[in-house]
Amino acid sequence: MQGPFSTRRGAGLYLLAWLLLAIVFAGLIVAATGAAWTDGLLFTVPVTLLYACATGFSSYYLCRAYPLSERGAISVLLVFAVAAVVASVVWTALCIGWNHACAAIAMSAPLQAAIFGLGVILYALCAVAHYLALESGRARAAERRELEAALMAQDAELRMLRTQIDPHFLFNSLNSISALTSIDPARARDMTLRLADFFRYSLGLEAGRKVTLEAETALAMHFIAIEKVRFGARLNIEQAIDAGALGCLLPPMILQPLVENAVKHGIAHLTGGGTIRIAAQRAGSVLKIVVENDIDDDPPAVGGHGIGLASVRQRLAATYGHEAGIAWTREAHQFRVALSLPFQTTEIDPCAS
């Protein structure tokens, strides 16, 4: 069922509003005619509630048939003026007939005219209320579609991020596994399991569902453990993560591009190796994450941090808007990336109405 009775709650509130109008109408009748309150209510309540049903459905379907965004103002006013007059004439006739049947009040010509005018006003108010409700519904639907589109875009971006995980990482890992199978089968098996766990976890992530910082850090450690087989003692890792920050929720694979950049564009260019440092702490309602790595004093002419950092910035903006940010700095021996985002421990559905 559509219109004012589309839900029980809506129907109840609608009829309650009209019942209050019927009581006010009864008070005016009592004041104008001197009738008893019981006679006034006997006259007004039945006809008002019946008019509420007829007016509600009539004005609702006219509002649907004449949307303000598609029809001219003159045509809309003309249609509703005719509908209000016709409905009010019918209602006035109904009031006269009902009064003859129950003999509740003395129906005079001025009172009939007042009833007619009240009917026109009530019809107009009902039409305005329906227009407001329809426009509000369209606005909510448009907002929901926008949020769903943003979520789909985030999911597509996450899938693209998976495909952008450095192919050399996979090839080098497989080559390392191949080399280890003959000299250290146990390490080859361990690296194979780590590689499988890494891709199994990353492929199971959903853009619309956040993960804890603890899980995100664990994924980064899987990546580093695999790379450490290739780099050996050249690759070191340090962590300084507050226990109170581990439960914070954040977009999945938000650290992955940062750690991958640290390995690919930092440690890989250092003959003597270097250290990646991951720190995180809660500062009130904000989570701060810092990823640092040692770099060459004379870095290659071609930079490679731009795409990964831009991807992280876009994902933070899509998820948190202006509440999150990313900044990076390059010093003589170190590259530093700092993230700040809202501290959340409860998942929030962006499409919830």
Q: In terms of DSSP bridges, do strands 274-283 and 235-241 run parallel, antiparallel, or are they unpaired?
A: parallel
pLDDT digits (tens, 9 = 90+) for 229-278: 888 889 999 999 999 999 999 988 888 889 988 998 899 889 889 999 99
Residues 133 and 221 grouped into a single domain: no
Residue where a domain terminates, one of 145, 164, 196: 145
Q: What is the rounded distance in angstroms from the CA atom of residue 325 to the CA atom of residue 312?
A: 9
Lowest mean pLDDT among 43-47, 187-191, 323-327, 349-353: 349-353
Residues 222 and 123 grouped into a single domain: no
Highest mean pLDDT of the ranges 97-101, 132-136, 153-157, 243-247: 243-247
What burial class does residue 318 get, using C-beta atoms within 10 Å of its C-beta: 0-12 exposed, 13-18 middle, 19+ buried? middle
Residues 112 and 219 grouped into a single domain: no
Do 23 and 41 contact (CB within 8 A), yes or no?
Answer: yes
Q: What is the rounded distance in angstroms from the CA atom of residue 260 to the CA atom of residue 277?
A: 13
Q: How many domains does the chain fold into?
A: 2
pLDDT digits (tens, 9 = 90+) for 36-81: 899 889 989 999 999 988 888 888 888 888 888 788 888 888 999 9
Residues 7 and 138 grouped into a single domain: yes
Residues 138 and 214 grouped into a single domain: no
- Position 176 in a domain: no
Residues 222 and 108 grouped into a single domain: no
The beta strand positions in the chain, using DSSP E, are 211-212, 235-241, 249-250, 274-283, 286-294, 325-330, 334-342
- Position 327 in a domain: yes
Residue where a domain terminates, one of 145, 173, 190: 145
Mean pLDDT estimate for the chain: 83
Name the 3-class secondary structure at 344.
Answer: coil
Residues 239 and 126 grouped into a single domain: no
CA distances from 345 to 30, 213, 256, 289 (A): 60, 10, 21, 16
Do 269 and 242 contact (CB within 8 A), yes or no?
Answer: no
Residues 140 and 226 grouped into a single domain: no
- Position 250 in a domain: yes
Residue where a domain terminates, one of 128, 145, 162: 145
Residues 222 and 133 grouped into a single domain: no
Residues 125 and 213 grouped into a single domain: no
Identity of the amino acid at 330: R
- Position 193 in a domain: no
- Position 152 in a domain: no
* Domain that residue 88 falls in: 3-145
Do 166 and 98 contact (CB within 8 A), yes or no?
Answer: no
Q: What is the rounded distance in angstroms from the CA atom of residue 328 to the CA atom of residue 266?
A: 14
Q: Does the pTM exceed 0.85?
A: no
Q: In terms of DSSP bridges, do strands 286-294 and 249-250 run parallel, antiparallel, or are they unpaired?
A: unpaired
- Position 199 in a domain: no
| Structure token pair of residue 171 | 């090839």
Name the 3-class secondary structure at 162.
Answer: helix
Q: In residues, how long is the chain?
A: 353
Chain center to CA of 228: 40
Residues 214 and 337 grouped into a single domain: yes
Instruction: Supply angle C-alpha 235, 239, 240, rounded to 5.
Output: 155
Residues 224 and 131 grouped into a single domain: no
Q: What is the rounded distance in angstroms from the CA atom of residue 207 to the CA atom of residue 152?
A: 8
- Position 320 in a domain: yes
- Position 117 in a domain: yes
Instruction: Supply angle C-alpha 255, 259, 260, rounded to 5.
Output: 115
The answer, yes or no, to whether residue 158 has pLDDT greater than 70, is no
- Give the pLDDT band of residue 194 (cuts 50, 70, 90): confident
CATH number, domain with residue 304: 3.30.565.10
